[in-house]
Structure 1
Amino acid sequence: MTPSRLILASSSPFRRELLQRLGLAFDAVAADVDESPLPNEPPADLVVRLAQSKARAVAASHPDALVIGSDQVACINGRVLGKPGDRANAIAQLQQASGQTAVFHTGLCLLNAATGRMQALCEPFKAHFRQLTPQQIAAYVDREQPLNCAGSFKSEGLGIALFRRLEGDDPNALIGLPLIRLIDMLAGEGVEVLQQP
């Protein structure tokens, strides 16, 4: 039996917009979890653990739902880049990224709250940055205000101008929700995206 509800365990407007592309009815519920990394925790393990934690947190109060959890970190030269929070940090992150390759690790989890069945994975995606001048970086930050985005950019907007090449299996992973993998997970729970009315 397919659960009666689909819930995105996130308050991210970017993830909501991505999930809407599939044409499925869903609710979005913020997941309150501690996102601190464990000592020496590799980025891929961190994002899978947090995606699972978010899904479990929301599933606890929605026992009839399929719950989608997701989390993302960006790394350059092994250093994790979080959300900048302010203009100065965004500029500093993009200065560090200039001419470098950032690896985005996106954790994805689908939890069937009724059965306890959990599917989880990490979807990597690489963004190869152009050499950027300080003026280009400041202009980008001022125009896009990417202060709540890991890595200080929005690839779905002007951020695409920051890259010389993108590399990965699912471009949606760069924005924070790997839809190709999610479609497979949903099919495993009896939800066929292309058969929905």
Structure 2
Amino acid sequence: MTIYLASESPRRSMLLQKIGIDFEHIKPNAEEITETQLSPEEYVKTNAIKKARSVLSQIDDGIIIAADTVVVKDDEILGKPLDENDAIRMLSKLSGAIHDVYTAIVVLEKGTDRMEIEVEQTRVEMREISTKEIQKYVESGEPLDAAGAYKIQERGAKFIRWIEGCYYNVVGLPISTLVEMLKKFNINV
């Protein structure tokens, strides 16, 4: 059975390759919601489901994997920054503070419409980051393509004091959770 990754994230592709999953990449065609009255869990679940369902018409059969990740600080959902100023605002908010990262994973089987959904939460503490450090990091361009305006697996690692929970959740795809979900579809990794 063919596995499809409904994502534009190179990080998610890299993680699937890393654990030996053969898959085909398929670009989702879904408008992400921006409704911030939802809980973080419902927000990421809704977006991940929309991504998975948006590719159904592009395949004949198979398993679709989709995910959505956000950072949450003081009840504010921080997705990808809109621009450099938004990235500076997000990093300033996260500086010296604890925040949560939520990722929803959807595994959807075309044909049966069977769907499994899981949400992972990881706590992260950033050290104090100076205005100069934030500016330099934002100028690198790295934060503009990441929830919460940082990438823990790249240059953003230098800002992280500790994490509690799944590291790969912060990267954007909690691998152990995904492996357990795939077992429910008789796919062993």
Indicate whether the TM-score tops 0.5: yes
Structure 1 residue aligned with 2:81: 84
CA distance in 2 between counterparts of 1:189 and 1:26 reads 15
Decide whether the 8 Å contact of 1:109 with 1:121 is kept in 2: yes
Structure 2 residue aligned with 1:176: 172
Q: After TM superposition, list the pairs within 5 Å mapping 1:43-122 onto structure 2.
A: 43-122=40-119
Query: Unaligned stretches of 5+ in structure 1?
Result: none
CA distance in 1 between counterparts of 2:42 and 2:25 reads 24
Q: After TM superposition, list the pairs within 5 Å mapping 1:153-172 onto structure 2.
A: 153-168=150-165, 170-172=166-168
- Name the aligned partner's letter for residue 18 of structure 1: L
Deviation at 1:144, TM superposition (A): 5.4
Deviation at 1:140, TM superposition (A): 2.2
Decide whether the 8 Å contact of 2:6 with 2:51 is kept in 1: yes
Tell whether 2:29 aligns with 1:32.
yes
- Name the aligned partner's letter for residue 159 of structure 2: L
Decide whether the 8 Å contact of 1:108 with 1:121 is kept in 2: yes
Give TM-score scaled by structure 1 length: 0.90
- Secondary structure of 2:46's aligned partner: helix
Aligned length: 189
CA distance in 1 between counterparts of 2:136 and 2:72 reads 23
Deviation at 1:58, TM superposition (A): 1.2
Give TM-score scaled by structure 2 length: 0.94
Task: Output one character per residue of 1:73-129: Cα deviation in whole Å (capped at 9) or x when no partner.
Answer: 111111111211322221121111111112111010101112211100111111101
Decide whether the 8 Å contact of 2:79 with 2:148 is kept in 1: yes
Query: Unaligned stretches of 5+ in structure 2?
Result: none
Decide whether the 8 Å contact of 2:33 with 2:47 is kept in 1: no
Task: Output one character per residue of 1:139-196: Cα deviation in whole Å (capped at 9) or x when no partner.
Answer: 222345321111111111121111111111x211101111111001111111111xxx
